[in-house]
A and B are shown apart, each in its own frame.
Chain A
Amino acid sequence: MGPVITAVILSFRDEAGNFTLANYLYIFKDPYFLKAVINTGIFVAISVTLEFVVAFSLALLINKRFRGAGAFLSLALIPMTLPPVAVGAMWSSGFAVHGWMNSLLYRLGFITEGEKIVFLGGTEFQSLMLIILIDAWQVIPFMMIILLAGLQNLPKESIEAGYIFGATRFTVLRKITMPMMKPSIQTALILRIISALQVWLIIVMIYGYRRIPVLVEEVVFYEEVLLNFYRVALAYSVIVSVIVSIVAVIYLKVSGAFEKAPE
């Protein structure tokens, strides 16, 4: 807790060590702040939804014992544990106009010489979508593993009972599988929301600073790129921590995890 308290105290001080709100006011006046909040919001909303839906469908799809399951699961672990810089190198070489993505599409006959896709040249929203896709590549396999574990731990009897009483597949999924899997879903979602709120490195590696401002990226921007903005950066990081904690607490409260901690 030490560092956090230091950060809070320092963020309220000016150069001379007197109490001030200037650091915070500076941030709230910064036009990039609002942009960053909105972008982060969009990122969290879309990426978490997309990743959860896809990961859950995949988990349902491969929820059976099959030959090669072990190898497949090990494979699914790899994207999550890849170092961020490796992921950055991978996709920045992929999305370049002459990169491997266009080369592959060209070879497979999807595009012709003149139709090379300029992946990185879109609007801010399109760029954000691209980042969401990259992020999804990394996160979905891992989320799938957590959900798959939840699925495999379910007692088969209750699901069979559902079918016996004439429920359709969808009803069984909605009324029996989902509620019983609540702990795994909760773990997967809360971890995901928290890390989605903190996305920045991949954005900077592919687009550079301030192309798509998000909260943590702004913190690092003030800390690393601009000089003499250390206190602003600290104040910014306090704001981000508060936002993350609020979202996490709200989520835990709404999903009722406080009464019964996960698992």
Chain B
Amino acid sequence: MGKKKLKKITTTTLFYLAVAFIAVVILLPIYFLFSISLMSDQEAYNWPIPMAPSFVNKFIIMKSTESEDKYVLSVYSKTRDEYITIYESADLDDMISFAERKTNSRIPKDLLLQKIKELEDVYRKNESEIKAAEEELKGLNERLRSLNSQIRKYRKKMEKITPEMTELQELKKSLEERVNELERQKDDVERRISELTRRLISIGSVSFTVPKNLFANYITFFKVTSDSIPALIRSIEVALATIGISLGIGGPAGYAFARYFFKGKNLLKLSVLFVRMFPGVSIAMPMVIILAKMGFYDRPIGLSLVYSVGQIAMTIWITASIFMGIPIELEEAAQIFGCSKWGAFFHVTLPLALPGLAASAMYAFIGSWSETAQAIILTQFHPTFPVVVYQTLVGAKGLVNLVAAGGVTMALPAILFTIIIRRYILQMWGGITI
């Protein structure tokens, strides 16, 4: 009895582990996309990338060693556990705007001035110590440079000695020892430098935290890609027009399929398949000519016409199944009570079908919103939003966090609507009820 119970617990645990594993695999990339989209340049170009975006930036400000009136601004990096210098200047406005670009935190000028005043006090108090540490640091840095150049020189010499030169092997060995010795010294010097730097920070700096603007990348994305706000509006226009066309034609057709002849269901499924058989790009290319003739090329309405071709069969399929689920007896009953045929439809069937129709509208929205391949071909000077994101992605490989912001902007409505209409999608693909 106990054994059986144990076995059951084990299988259940394993089962849930498997489910959790799949969920993690699905969610992880989405999580990282989102998380990177909230990161500042400073975080996103770090190695390793932090596992989560930070909400505040911790800055320190120090006096420059080069000149009296310059200040050095550094920001704390969580992943490296050290302060990274980002700007050295006497011009505070420059410093603020650079820091904002780099860290997505706008340091208030008052705060900066106040901190600089504090810094001067700290400096006066610890002046001798700071000077000594700076002096030592200078020497150490020089030593590091000379060590590095020596190591390079010896390495070059060693490379010249190939294994064939037997008489020189002895020399090579001694060179190797020398290099190892130098490397050890270098390590020591480096350790001392980082120690001193930390000490300098503790005695000669003032720290402060500034909240980070989490959505800075989103704002920058819309600013940098000048086309993106009109593109976003166009995308919405296209989606709405697609919904209008496909529901306007597909809805009545679906009703007809549901009420008047029942045999069409297989035909419909085949036609859904048939539309998918032609690559979207293959349909889009000749459409360029046709739309140009109609004067619809490079305009939202043209795009939505093309999208509707792909959507209508699907809409008919969905709406037909919705109307089939509403018994015709209800309509008949309404007619008996004195409703006209249209009245029965509008007062009885339509309200019942409304949630389903809304779902099919959202389905059309997701399709049109996400569509990229055809839009790349069918637009030229007036791209839709996915095309703008695509161009940023393909054109500028460097802007990881900006592209991520664009990607998230694309993904959010799609995910939202998918979750709202999940029941219908799941049902459509074979009637899973949840």
Contact = CB atoms under 8 A, between A and B. Distances in A.
B279 A149 contact: no
B386 interface: yes
Contacts of B273: 190-191, 194, 248
Given A73-B426, A216-B281, A244-B278, A103 B49 contact: yes
A91 to B, nearest CB: 7
Given A103-B49, A262-B269, A201 B372 contact: yes
A100 interface: yes
A137 interface: yes
B429 interface: yes
Contact of A73 (B48, B276, B434): B434
B30 A78 contact: yes
A84 B373 contact: yes
B389 A4 contact: no
A81 B19 contact: no
B47 A219 contact: no
Instruction: Give the residue among A100, A149, A150, A216 with the most B Cβ atoms within 10 A.
Output: A100
Interface in B389-434: 389-390, 393-394, 397, 400, 403-404, 406-408, 410-411, 414-415, 417-419, 422, 425-426, 429-432, 434
B207 to A, nearest CB: 27
A241 B279 contact: yes
B376 A85 contact: no
A98 interface: yes
Contacts of B389: 85-86, 89
Contacts of B266: 261-263
Interface stretch (A122-130, A140-148, A157-165): A140-148
Contacts of B45: 98
A78 B31 CA distance: 13
Contact of B19 (A72, A197, A200): A72
Contact of A6 (B277, B286, B422): B286
Nearest to A6: B286
Contacts of A117: none
A62 to B, nearest CB: 6
Interface stretch (B20-28, B166-174, B185-193, B344-352): B20-28
A39 interface: no
A70 B422 CA distance: 9
B410 A81 contact: no
A220 B372 contact: no
**Chain B interface extent, by class:** 35 or more
B36 interface: yes
B282 interface: yes
B430 A78 contact: no
Give the bracket for the number of chain A residues in contact with chain B.
Answer: 35 or more
Interface in A158-217: 184, 187, 190-191, 194-195, 197-198, 200-201, 204-205, 208, 216
B18 A61 contact: yes
B286 A153 contact: no
A90 interface: yes
Interface string B258-282: 0000000110011001001111111
B285 interface: yes
A152 B432 contact: yes
Contact of A78 (B26, B278, B404, B432): B26
Contacts of B6: none
A7 B282 contact: yes
Closest 8 A/B residue pairs (Cβ):
A149-B430, A89-B407, A103-B48, A83-B370, A237-B282, A70-B434, A86-B411, A7-B286
18 contacts: A58-B18, A74-B434, A75-B23, A81-B366, A82-B30, A84-B386, A93-B33, A93-B403, A98-B47, A99-B400, A103-B47, A104-B28, A148-B432, A149-B432, A194-B277, A198-B281, A204-B394, A220-B376
Interface of A: 2-4, 6-7, 10, 58, 61-62, 66, 68-70, 72-79, 81-86, 88-94, 96, 98-100, 102-104, 106-107, 137, 141, 145-146, 148-150, 152-153, 184, 187, 190-191, 194-195, 197-198, 200-201, 204-205, 208, 216, 219-220, 223-224, 230, 233-234, 237-238, 240-241, 244-245, 248, 261-263
Interface of B: 15-16, 18-19, 22-23, 25-30, 32-33, 36, 45, 47-49, 51, 265-266, 269-270, 273, 276-283, 285-287, 289-290, 366, 369-370, 372-373, 376-377, 386, 389-390, 393-394, 397, 400, 403-404, 406-408, 410-411, 414-415, 417-419, 422, 425-426, 429-432, 434
